[in-house]
Structure 1
């Protein structure tokens, strides 16, 4: 995970021509990680060029540069002069503050303006949307919505996993775009899992939802409480999902009832973001029954290890080998 302040400093050092080879490699990795990072970078570079047209002074005039930026955007002037590199650290810091402040506004314009983005990184997060609907974000997940939410629309975009508890409003449907899927409801609660490179899955907890592909050709699949579906080949498909732990991350509870250890360990892997290596495949056919409330990884491994007569050995951080 990259720190924004650190990235801003790397961009400023690159513009100044003072970036090291290691720093350049780090910056390039950040640029390749997300297209939004490239847009942010381009906005900073463009605004730096604008700032370079102002007289060389200890304190850049941010508002003046912003006005010049708007004038150039309105006139659709593309060529811009690169600012002369400054070698003193205090000038670098002052210039960085200026371009970050201005580029923040520019980036908002470039990304459509008025967008609200809420991210849960290391910790889960609970959000109340402007219409009163509640969203519980799992770790490494994000939702966003545009200006006018609740007043003119109720549309959100999801990356990752979230539980939605939607306030009823028959005149204004609640729509979630997640990956290649689209979920529409009037008032209900449900869980969507839409991590990159993984199958998109919907579990309905209460009420009724319409689940479809963004570019699918079939009618939406209508699902009621207790039912689940996945998106397969851009089309929704109903599944028999008997997993009692699909909301374990939200409820902080793991429950297993005579479940093969293969499935048990997969659930534990996802819940704690760890990985297991098994020496003897026959271990995976063993079954386990048990419940954990607000579990810790150590507790779960100790209890399962004792019940199944297996040993968990940590080989490296987050990686455990299982043996008899």
Structure 2
């Protein structure tokens, strides 16, 4: 999309000559994707040079400061048709469609000079309400970042960690989550995303519909509806999963559910929920069938119930580290 802040950053660096080789290649690929991308790039570059002429000097190589100056110049100027100097000649962007693209793009581009807002959940999960009315549940050790003008021109956010989103409808500005290698776009729905480090990004849709794609590859988005899940890795297209994990949002709901799953899967869910480590000394124990439901789970209580129903012994070796034996 033209509001992609990452591409705006690459354009700014390219204009100033500070772009790296890898970034240059990424920008070139984006420009080839759609003619409107090239038109957007050309207009910003030409307008930048016109602003530089007004300063009677070429801008120094400080992207943030220069775009701040550029923003102030445009904001104080009287509205007028945009005349663009292009490769030594002048031309008028008369087409209404192109003009609309450029006008919208410049507004979003200037937003980069604004401050970003960062929301963080450290040791406990937290609930936040975004400026557009959307609600975000952040799991512990997770952060969310968005521009302070969020909801005015776009609804782009960046997630590191895990979150559950209850998105307020807005047909004008889609809600876009950038998390790891993924990009998730919605108008109004609820879904969970898990994006930790180099692990695959996982998505679970609870209500509505989302478009899930790899943010670094040219491929069609995977459209998912309520009750469906998918994963994506850095070098691959998104892949739909055959079933959803009932414990995907256990951290938010404070509820763990196991319906005839291997004991190993039970322990994996407990590790995620409690932030502990569970070691199974005997591999034969990992495949034991288990079922049970725990509301407001407590680790000691769960271990007592599991040990009694599966005839295993669970010992705490050190703080937060448990061993499972016959």
What is the TM-score of this pair, normalised by structure 1? 0.65
Structure 2 equivalent of residue 286 of structure 1: 288
Confirm or deny: 8 A CA contact 2:189 2:207 kept in the other structure: yes
Task: Name which of 294, 297, 300 aligns with 1:295.
Answer: 297
1:209 equivalenced with 2:248 (yes/no) = no
1:133 equivalenced with 2:122 (yes/no) = no
Structure 1 equivalent of residue 192 of structure 2: 191
Q: Per-residue deviation at 1:194?
A: 0.4
Structure 1 equivalent of residue 308 of structure 2: 306
**How does 1:156-195 map onto structure 2 within 5 Å?**
156-195=157-196
1:122 equivalenced with 2:123 (yes/no) = yes
Confirm or deny: 8 A CA contact 1:181 1:234 kept in the other structure: no
Confirm or deny: 8 A CA contact 1:215 1:234 kept in the other structure: no
Distance in 2, matches of 1:76 and 1:197, equals: 33
1:63-118 per-residue CA deviation (whole Å, 9 max, x = no partner) reads xxxxxxxxxxx9989xxxxxxxxxxxxxxxxxxxxxxxxxxxxxxxxx95411001
Q: Post-superposition, which runs of at least 4 consecutive aligned residues in structure 1 deviate over 2 A? A: 74-77
1:204-262 per-residue CA deviation (whole Å, 9 max, x = no partner) reads 10000001111112111111111111103242111113321111111000011111101
Distance in 2, matches of 1:112 and 1:141, equals: 25
Distance in 2, matches of 1:226 and 1:242, equals: 7
Distance in 2, matches of 1:198 and 1:274, equals: 18
Confirm or deny: 8 A CA contact 1:217 1:235 kept in the other structure: no
Confirm or deny: 8 A CA contact 1:134 1:166 kept in the other structure: yes
Cα RMSD over matched residues?
1.7
Structure 1 equivalent of residue 270 of structure 2: 268
SS in 2 for 1:205: strand
Structure 2 equivalent of residue 98 of structure 1: none
Name the count of aligned residue pairs: 218
Distance in 2, matches of 1:175 and 1:304, equals: 41
Confirm or deny: 8 A CA contact 2:193 2:202 kept in the other structure: yes
SS in 2 for 1:235: coil
Structure 2 equivalent of residue 9 of structure 1: none
What is the TM-score of this pair, normalised by structure 2? 0.65
Structure 1 equivalent of residue 241 of structure 2: 239
Confirm or deny: 8 A CA contact 2:175 2:185 kept in the other structure: yes
Q: Per-residue deviation at 1:264?
A: 0.7
1:322 equivalenced with 2:324 (yes/no) = yes
Confirm or deny: 8 A CA contact 1:168 1:186 kept in the other structure: yes
SS in 1 for 2:123: coil
Structure 2 equivalent of residue 82 of structure 1: none
Distance in 1, matches of 2:132 and 2:223, equals: 24
Distance in 1, matches of 2:61 and 2:259, equals: 64
Task: Give the unaligned 5+ runs of structure 2.
Answer: 1-58, 63-111
Distance in 1, matches of 2:192 and 2:202, equals: 8
Task: Give the unaligned 5+ runs of structure 1.
Answer: 1-73, 78-110
Residue 75 to residue 183, structure 1, CA distance change in 2 (3 Å): closer
Distance in 1, matches of 2:313 and 2:181, equals: 41
Distance in 2, matches of 1:205 and 1:243, equals: 11
